[in-house]
Structure 1
Amino acid sequence: MEPSKDQLLWMYAAMAKARHYEDTMARAYMEGKTPKFDIGAGPVPGEMHLAAGQEPCAAGVCVHLRAGDTVTATHRPHHVAIAKGVDLNRMTAEIYGRRDGLAGGRGGHMHLFDPAVNFACSGIIGESAGPATGAALAARLQGSDAVAVAYLGDGAANQGAFHEALNLASLWRLPVVFVIEDNAWGISVPKSRSTAVPDNSVRARGYDMPGVHVADNDTLAVFDAAGEAVARARRGEGPTLIEVQTYRYYGHFQGDPEVYRPKDEVARLKARDPIDRLRGHMLDNAGVTEAEADEALTRVRAEVDAAFEFARQSGEPAPEDALEHVFA
């Protein structure tokens, strides 16, 4: 499946937007946390998990989705939220814990929820599989051709909830796509020391569904695999499992000393950066001009910068707001 020029530009913009967002967040998060790291200090308190490097997993899948499709993501969710069209201003305000956030500042960066575009995420490992399967069942019962996509990390593929969801999705032939982002590390544990199979896509055979492995963080290969999986789901032919070999440039969390990683690993990965590779393909093979690519880059960077300014200007929640939206 060959992407159109418009699809290529959309993916490039989504990936560049996510990268600028994560790099900007990395700087904003560390404000007030130096010279001695204090996780509760600064304008963005709490843990922070960034996905720079993993952009193909988001853009290559979400380019095939519609507004009515459901996406559930992981504790490292920003790139997927951006590709699904989550309100960037309100998402950033949420991460800052401000009253204009998606949940009024209650959820933070691991618990983003935007019903306007059917997006949610959670800090619980493997949690995304069940809700996505439920959303796929709801679409089936409503007679809709909407699909659901569940994002998981490679560590989550060892959770029981993941396997339960695959079993039900296949048994009921539900329109759901499971996307495993294999960034080689489960916190600080390499995949080879936590997972019995070298490639999680082979686990699809045990649940009678197609399994696809995408190597080398290849945006175009993700686009191809996801295009077939989404189309198959819309045709009522059931679920697909896709594992993408991807990479994260930052640590498991901001402040992670990363003593477990080879010292040259990130530099080697950046030498084959997926955004640069996609740009090269667009310019050389798809009729995209430098001016068109640069315009997309300028536009999305401005959107990200505006979102951070919006968040900083948003007010703090009132103390009494803590009692809203809770069960008595």
Structure 2
Amino acid sequence: MNLEKKMNSSKSLKLNTPQTLILYEDMVLGRYFEDMCAQMYYRGKMFGFVHLYTGQEAISSGVIKALQPTDYVCSTYRDHVHALSKGVTAREVMAELFGKETGCCKGRGGSMHIFSKEHNFLGGFAFIGEGIPVALGAAFQSMYRKQVLGESDQLPVTVSFFGDGTTNVGQFFECLNMAALWKLPIIFLVENNQWAIGMAHPRSSSIPEIHTKAAAFGIPGIEVDGMDVLAVHKVTQEAIARARAGEGPTLIEALTYRFRGHSLADPDELRSFQEKEAWTARDPIKRLANYIVENNLATATELEEINQSIKSIVEDSVEFATNSPEPAVEDLYKYLFL
């Protein structure tokens, strides 16, 4: 498959310098944050399963930075970077990963269950497909408030993130069908990183081209280069405009690759060195950095200053999490619905 020819290109997208640098900063934040998570996990600061997003940053930044604060995002168990892009602070996310009281879920959620009501971030979910119906419900309430309650605010859009393996389970098809029937303002965003844990995507789906499944429901299906943040941003803006106009959902398949194993407990022995090398050569952060310098949006020195600033934010988040209090034993049943 010729990735460059088959997928949507970013050539027609023109962003100003501040917009482009916002995307760059957000991608770098995601990368450095996840790299630090790996360090902290192996030092015993985090527990349970931790699934990193390294390599897929162009999707989170390209999609979420096209949204408004009033829009909703529903994630997966690979949710740290989605939360950061939506505005949850590095301190809150890191403290949550450390199981501290200052975390965004008071230390009760952990890696796979990042949530923030303040930022309309509807959470990460441990099981595949689990978040899609939740996202569908968010989109339904947005439409209900507009059409039934007569609210005059701009129609909020919901983005539901999920992986390629999820597109073979029932919730995917059921929710696409319902969203199409009711023309709900939702974007179904498939992060096709080619592997569902240890199963190569072409071996698990009778139709490997996931975006073509949209045709069964009469909605647009778009394939985009998930390693090109500008291309992702462009198709997302178009899908958002369609949703806000009441024209219904869009299915976007972003082709990408995770640079690490399925989780930090995965030795990653199933994928070939040649495959990994081919994809890491298309690192989305390096591609955007080259674009910025070549188009005189910023110098290499200015980008390095951004990198150092982001590193300081991530290091500060670790210090904050380390010094934060543990949840009190007497609060064991706090925040539960009994």
For normalisation by structure 1, the TM-score amounts to 0.93
Equivalent in the alignment of 2:125: 122
Q: Is the 8 A contact 1:2 1:224 kept in 2?
A: no
- Provide the rounded CA distance (Å) in 1 between the counterparts of 2:264 and 2:50: 6
SS at match of 2:173: helix
AA partner of residue 3 (structure 1) = L
Q: Cα distance, 1:289 vs. partner?
A: 2.8
Taking every aligned residue pair, what percent have the same amino acid on both sides? Answer: 39
Equivalent in the alignment of 1:7: 19
SS at match of 1:81: helix
- Provide the rounded CA distance (Å) in 2 between the counterparts of 1:211 and 1:265: 26
Q: Is the 8 A contact 1:29 1:44 kept in 2?
A: yes
CA deviation profile, 1:111-165 (whole Å, cap 9, x unmatched):
0110111112111211221111111111112224110000000001111111111
Equivalent in the alignment of 1:18: 30
AA partner of residue 7 (structure 1) = Q
Of residues 150-159 and 262-271 in structure 1, the stretch that sits farther from structure 2 once superposed is 262-271
Matched positions, count: 318
- Provide the rounded CA distance (Å) in 2 between the counterparts of 1:300 and 1:137: 37
Of residues 43-52 and 122-131 in structure 1, the stretch that sits farther from structure 2 once superposed is 122-131
AA partner of residue 110 (structure 1) = M
Equivalent in the alignment of 1:191: 201
Q: Is the 8 A contact 1:219 1:274 kept in 2?
A: yes
Equivalent in the alignment of 1:220: 230
Q: What does 1:102-141 correspond to in 2, within 5 Å?
A: 102-119=104-121, 120-141=123-144
CA deviation profile, 1:75-105 (whole Å, cap 9, x unmatched):
1111211111112211111111111111211
Equivalent in the alignment of 1:58: 60
Equivalent in the alignment of 1:285: 295
AA partner of residue 164 (structure 1) = E
Equivalent in the alignment of 2:326: 316
CA deviation profile, 1:290-323 (whole Å, cap 9, x unmatched):
3432332222221111111111111111112111
Of residues 266-275 and 96-105 in structure 1, the stretch that sits farther from structure 2 once superposed is 266-275
SS at match of 1:249: coil
Extract unaligned runs of 5+ from structure 1. 32-41
AA partner of residue 241 (structure 2) = A
Q: What does 1:286-301 correspond to in 2, within 5 Å?
A: 287-301=297-311
Equivalent in the alignment of 1:38: none
2:69 pairs, out of 43, 48, 67, with 67
Q: Is the 8 A contact 2:226 2:232 kept in 1?
A: no
Q: What does 1:59-208 correspond to in 2, within 5 Å?
A: 59-119=61-121, 120-143=123-146, 144-208=154-218
- Provide the rounded CA distance (Å) in 2 between the counterparts of 1:162 and 1:304: 35
- Closer/same/farther in 2, CA of residues 312 and 284 from structure 1, 3 Å limit: same
Q: Is the 8 A contact 2:195 2:201 kept in 1?
A: yes
Q: What does 1:248-263 correspond to in 2, within 5 Å?
A: 248-263=258-273
- Provide the rounded CA distance (Å) in 2 between the counterparts of 1:243 and 1:285: 28
For normalisation by structure 2, the TM-score amounts to 0.91
- Provide the rounded CA distance (Å) in 1 between the counterparts of 2:215 and 2:296: 36
CA deviation profile, 1:28-69 (whole Å, cap 9, x unmatched):
1001xxxxxxxxxx2211111001000011011112111110
AA partner of residue 93 (structure 1) = A
Q: Is the 8 A contact 1:7 1:63 kept in 2?
A: no
**4+ residue segments displaced more than 6 Å:** none
Q: What does 1:226-245 correspond to in 2, within 5 Å?
A: 226-245=236-255
CA deviation profile, 1:185-206 (whole Å, cap 9, x unmatched):
0000000111111211001111
Q: Cα distance, 1:216 vs. partner?
A: 5.8
- Closer/same/farther in 2, CA of residues 63 and 121 from structure 1, 3 Å limit: same
CA deviation profile, 1:245-288 (whole Å, cap 9, x unmatched):
10101100102111211034333322221100001111112532
- Provide the rounded CA distance (Å) in 1 between the counterparts of 2:22 and 2:327: 35
Q: Is the 8 A contact 2:91 2:318 kept in 1?
A: yes
Root-mean-square deviation (CA, aligned residues, Å) is 1.3
